[in-house]
Amino acid sequence: MLLVEATWKEVESHLADSRAIVMPIGSVEQHGPMGLLGTDAMCAEIIARRAGEIGGFLVGPTLALGMAQSHLAFPGTISLKPSTLMAVVEDVVASLSNSGFQQIIFLNGHGGNVATVTTAFGEIHAQRSLQHDPDNLELALKSWFDLPGIRRLLADMYPSGHGSHATPSEIAITQHAFPHAVKQVALDPQTAPDGRFSDAHDFRKRYPDGRKGADSSLAKPEDGAKLIEAAAQALAAEMTRYGKT
Ligand code: NI
């Protein structure tokens, strides 16, 4: 069930059975010449919604904006500062906890969110510990590409050219879900350089078309369908540990 398509009465009765919710979280940032700006938010939302259908758990609205400072030199990127994202996560958790949710699982589509969201969890737990809050609150962040079995599937699907940004896997997922938005663009070089970077200026200098280590042209919608199903099944299996779903 989608939270935004439910009434408060439906959520109240759902809470009698399960206190778990999945919150998709992504980013709006450049994804190279072929990838959509919304790729990370789209991937998290698509997989979370499919997993919710399989597992019968509640899926909240997607937090579409994330911490994307390193992509700010490309037009269209919208980034929250780490401090802003931490405040957003803290307020979302406080609201859901106030409703009675005790297991809040963020399904993530953007590696750049991990450090900030994990630190926000630390702040929340620290405050609750200091206040001797007796309610157990479980917080988890799961990136779809780190769900059980997915790295293996990615290695099989893309023996080379997967890279770490504007990857064919994330682009394939959006191609399957949003066929009207598929972009066919020649890539030069075919596989982008990879390595380190510091700030947004440095990122664009080192990776001029926005890709990192990826050959985005390997993306195929049919592979996107396989990835969505595999990640959704893996997330649904993970959710069985959070009480009745
Ligand atoms: Ni991405």
CA of 118 to the centre of ligand 1 (A): 18
How many domains is the chain partitioned into structurally? 1
Number of Cβ within a 10 Å radius of residue 156: 8
pTM of the model: 0.97
109: how many CB neighbours lie within 10 A of its CB? Answer: 28
Q: Give the whole-angstrom CA distance, residue 219 versus residue 190.
A: 13
CATH number of the domain enclosing 205: 3.40.50.10310
Q: CB neighbours of 122 closer than 8 A, spacing ≥ 6?
A: none
Q: Rounded to the nearest whole angstrom, what is the distance from the C-alpha of residue 163 to the centroid of ligand 1?
A: 11
Reference 169, options 128, 120, 225, 114; nearest CA is: 225
Please work out, in degrees rounded to the nearest 5, the angle formed at the alpha carbon of residue 5 by the alpha carbons of 175 and 222: 15
Residue 227, classed as helix, strand or coil, is helix
Distance 32 CA to ligand 1 centre (A): 10
pLDDT in single tens digits along all 245 residues of the chain = 999 999 999 999 999 999 999 999 999 999 999 999 999 999 999 999 999 999 999 999 999 999 999 999 999 999 999 999 999 999 999 999 999 999 999 999 999 999 999 999 999 999 999 999 888 899 999 999 999 999 999 999 999 999 999 999 999 999 999 999 999 999 999 999 999 999 999 999 999 999 999 999 999 999 999 999 999 999 999 999 886 54
* Dist. CA 166 → ligand 1 center (Å): 6
How remote is the CA of residue 71 from the centroid of ligand 1, in Å? 11
Ligand 1 centre distance from Cα of residue 230 (Å): 18
Task: Determine the distance separating the centroid of ligand 1 and the alpha carbon of 101, expressed in angstroms.
Answer: 29
> What residues are paired with 107 via a beta bridge?
24, 142
Domain range for residue 237? 3-242
